[in-house]
Amino acid sequence: MSDISALWNARSVAVIGASERPGALGRKPMDYLLRYGYKGRILPVNPRSEQILGVPAYPSVRDVPGPVDLALIMVAADRVLGAVDDCVAAGVPLAVIASSGFAETGEEGARLQAEVVARARAGNMRVIGPNCIGAVGYENRVMATFSPLFGAEEVPFEPGSLAFVSQSGALGFGAASLALERGLRPGWVVSTGNDADVTALEVLRELSQEPSVSGLLGYLEDAPDIGTLRALAGSGKPVALLKSGRTEAGGRAAASHTGALATDDRVLDAALRQLGIVRVDDIDELLDVARVFESERRPAGNRVAVVTTSGGSGILAADAIEAEGLELSTLEPQSKEALAGIVPAFGAIDNPVDITATVLSDPTLFDRSLDVLIADDSVDIIVACFCVMAGPDVEKAVTSLAKAAEKGGKPILVARTGADFLAPDAPRDLREAGLPEYPTPARALRAAAALWEVSRPRTALPEASVGAGTTGPLPGATEPELKRLLADAGVAVPRGRTVTGPDDAVRAVEELGGSAVFKAVVPGLLHKTEAGGVEVGVTADGAALAYARIAALGGDVLAEEVVGDGVELIVGVHSSDLGPVLTAGLGGIFTEILDDVAHRLLPLRPGEGAEMLAELRGAKVLAGTRGRPGVDVAAAADVLHRVAELVQDWPQGFSLDLNPVRVLSQGAVVLDAALTGPAATASAEATVEATAVPAAGGAR
């Protein structure tokens, strides 16, 4: 048993601050542990009581005989340090500190919180919280929480396979109550509050290792740790996260709530997509996605067939398929033939398949149509839509669906647009048949898209070594130095060299074919063009004068060949909360006005460079359009991969800009390169002489 898994595996739970007083928060976990039948040892701690609700109490956790797997601390903030010391002394491996009055209240609270964590760590104890509402591991009835949810008269709780971890306790247990109301079965609900030691993400990672967990849901406010995120994704279990503070306004509110800083939201989006983690925008969506995570069926592709009893639902489903980036399956000819023999003449045998309300008089219509779709190799996911239908009709439809579902391994989702009062048993019957149910086609298709997102085949993400290395260019490496590194990495740069004086400038222009670009090489001068540090179209005649003008800026002068026309990209590698991020976009208005860039965490997987370029809104510019020929997209993608590999061993915190990278009809050339950021450890590679940059395209 890991330390954290005591949240659901503890064989003994101490409740520090337990109380018998009706209405007291300290009474609730006692009530719940007793009411829900916790089978381990319940250990109330209260110096003023001999027993609590009939259970023998202890003055301190130090007095408890035998091991304490989990302590729930519910005393006032000023007594938490003492309780932590007691737990450490008693050898408790994990404490949940429910008490509030810590970092969420300001600086003083933050200092107290830091001290709590320091003492716990010194004592080898992990801490959940503070400022949380506790945790429930329902399989073993570990009810270490004071949430009012479990005090309701009837709580429709039953052990299930979903795990839900929320930084916000109120929102987390609120969402959990909605989940129960909607017939979902969360078996684990954990709130982590201020995440002072153990984070919500760590708890999710731990839960992903539990064999009986089928899907993981999280609500996060703090920026996630990339290592934990990778490990979570690596578990192979489906994960959906609601990360708030997405917008600027939300970010501000998050900062004032728990001291969390909003990470760069777009980078997080990209990272989650890379990792195959679903990101949702609302609690409702989280619960809708959770419903497909209860089943272990996975689609082999994104082609959806719709079978509907109402034309209206069919159209809405088709709309939603397109909106969600799924594909409306084109049925095989033999399927249409078969359907033509099943579906009434006024129905539709093209996807969406409309079996019409005739299903009311002939319930086998559902079975038979579903059989056809299950056998059709062009169908990966089936969505069955039906509208207002009353009791027995719904039962028949559900029986049909359940029969069909047993036959094939394809996921079948149900959109039943009708009230439960028309068919009170339908939700239970559908649940028992393993058929996730939604009230509208749009919601079913959103869940189908999430299911595809977590099922899509991905090559394993390489271990991140970026930022861990110690080699790399010197801080303030110059353009020629960087270009030499790029060339060594197989990235094309313009042919050229530094020139040593007016006469050498003339010679250089002649070597470069009679026309050249002259550029200032001045450490720290980032905006060369604006400073007059770039002259294009320099001929032998003008070379001496151009040299003089640029040398006057105080540095070296670089002469480079003129590179032909093409499409310009900007490429960069920058630091983020999640690690180094590769960014690529088209130059000009695409980045300046439209913010049209793609991000990927490093390292890149094979194929991700091309994927990045394809997801740009301006991708058509690269592919060619309206009389303009396309450029060498493969070469551009290759640059991304080589740059990603090049920086792999560079130390943390640098910022590399390749702007522009010109993509030609054949090849792609980095025209300019600049590095900013903290000092790197000196390395042999960085001290290259900048006099022998190889020819464009030569090294690839």
**Residue 281 touching a copy of itself (CB under 8 A):** yes
| Nearest distance, CB of residue 527 and a copy of itself, angstroms | 11
Work out whether 114 is an interface residue with a copy of itself (CB under 8 A).
no
Is residue 325 part of the contact set for a copy of itself (CB under 8 A)?
A: no
218 near a copy of itself, rule: CB under 8 A: no
Token look-up 């990603």 returns: 644
Please say which residue, 40 or 301, places its beta carbon nearer to a copy of itself. 301
Report residue 274 as tokens: 């890379």
Q: Does 589 bind a copy of itself (CB under 8 A)?
A: yes
Number of residues this chain uses to bind a copy of itself (CB under 8 A): 99
Least separation in angstroms between residue 568's CB and a copy of itself is 13
Determine how β-strand 51-52 pairs with β-strand 303-308.
unpaired
* 219 binds a copy of itself per the rule CB under 8 A: yes
- State the DSSP H helix or E strand holding residue 451, giving kind and residue range, or none if neither: helix 441-455
Give the residue, chosen from 122, 460, 593, 684, that forms a contact with a copy of itself under the rule CB under 8 A. Answer: 593
Helix, strand counts (H, E) of the chain? 23, 30
110's tokens: 């933050």
Q: In the set 350, 377, 406, 463, which binds a copy of itself (CB under 8 A)?
A: 350
- Binding status of residue 345 toward a copy of itself by CB under 8 A: yes
| CB distance 291 to 447 below 8 Å | yes
Coil/strand/helix, residue 650: coil
The reply to whether 371 sits near a copy of itself by the rule CB under 8 A is no
Of 339 and 558, which has the nearer Cβ to a copy of itself? 339
Helices (H), 16-73: 28-35
Rounded-to-integer distance, Cα 594 and Cα 487, Å? 31
| CA R_g for the chain | 31
Q: Select from 1, 340, 419, 536 the one that contacts a copy of itself (CB under 8 A).
A: 419
User: In the numeric block, which tokens belong to residue 75?
Assistant: 């005393």
Q: Which residue has the tokens 């250089």?
A: 508
The Cα–Cα gap between 45 and 53 comes to: 12
Residue 378 as a binder of a copy of itself (CB under 8 A): the answer is no
Q: Is 352 in the site for a copy of itself (CB under 8 A)?
A: yes
CB atoms within 10 A of CB 432: 11
Beta partners for 484?
A: none
The binder of a copy of itself chosen from 40, 123, 159, 250 (CB under 8 A): 250
Question: Between 36 and 699, whose beta carbon lies closer to a copy of itself?
Answer: 36
Chain positions 617 to 646 lying near a copy of itself, rule: CB under 8 A, are 617-618, 620-621, 625-626
Comparing CB distances to a copy of itself, the nearer of 446 and 519 is 446
449 binds a copy of itself (CB under 8 A): no
Regarding 172 and contact with a copy of itself (CB under 8 A), the answer is yes
Minimum gap (Å) between residue 309 Cβ and a copy of itself: 7
CA distances from 439 to 307, 419, 603, 639 (A): 15, 8, 41, 47
What φ, ψ does residue 126 adopt, rounded to 5°? -90, 155
Sign of CA dihedral 205, 210, 215, 218: negative
Footprint of a copy of itself on residues 81-110 (CB under 8 A)?
100-101, 104-106, 109
Using CB under 8 A as the binding rule, whether residue 140 contacts a copy of itself is answered as no
- For helices 311-323 and 441-455, what crossing angle results, to 10°? 40
Question: Closest Cα to residue 302, out of 284, 328, 265?
Answer: 328
Instruction: State the minimum distance, in angstroms, from the CB of residue 520 to a copy of itself.
Output: 19
Give whichever of 121 and 428 is closer to a copy of itself, judged by the CB atom: 428
Window 298 to 317, contacts with a copy of itself (CB under 8 A): 309-316
- One residue of 178, 544, 562, 682 binding a copy of itself per CB under 8 A: 178
Is position 176 an interface residue for a copy of itself (rule: CB under 8 A)? Answer: yes
In the shown chain, the binding pattern of residues 390 to 409 toward a copy of itself, with x for contact by CB under 8 A and - for none, equals: xx-x----------------
Asked if residue 264 binds a copy of itself (CB under 8 A), the reply is no
Asked if residue 246 binds a copy of itself (CB under 8 A), the reply is yes
As to burial, measured by CB atoms within 10 angstroms (0-12 exposed, 13-18 middle, 19+ buried), residue 48 is exposed
Of the candidates 284, 395, 632, 645, which one interacts with a copy of itself according to CB under 8 A?
284
User: Given candidates 37, 56, 151, 537, which one binds a copy of itself under the rule CB under 8 A?
Assistant: 151
By CB under 8 A, name the one of 63, 115, 248, 425 that touches a copy of itself.
248
Q: Residue 50 carries which DSSP code? A: S
203 binds a copy of itself (CB under 8 A): no
594 is a contact residue toward a copy of itself (CB under 8 A) = yes
Q: Are 422 and 454 in contact (CB under 8 A)?
A: no
Asked if 175 is part of the footprint of a copy of itself (rule: CB under 8 A), the reply reads yes
282 near a copy of itself (CB under 8 A): yes
Closer residue to a copy of itself in complex, CB, 107/689: 107
Q: Which of 19, 60, 147, 335 binds a copy of itself (CB under 8 A)?
A: 147
Residues 6+ apart with CB under 8 A from 330: 303, 351, 378
Q: How far is the CB of 256 from a copy of itself (least distance, A)?
A: 5
Give the angle subtended at the CA of 628 by the CAs of 624 and 632, to the nearest 5°.
45
At 551, which amino acid appears? A
Q: 256: which residues sit within 8 A by CB, 6+ positions away?
A: none
Cα distances (angstroms) measured from residue 67 to each of 40, 41, 218, 301, 555? 12, 10, 31, 50, 71
Shortest distance, position 322 Cβ to a copy of itself, whole Å: 4
CA atoms of 446 and 326, how far apart (whole Å):
10
Question: How far is Cα of residue 98 from the mean position of the Cα atoms in its chain?
Answer: 28
- In the bound state with a copy of itself, the residue whose beta carbon lies nearer, of 180 and 693, is 180
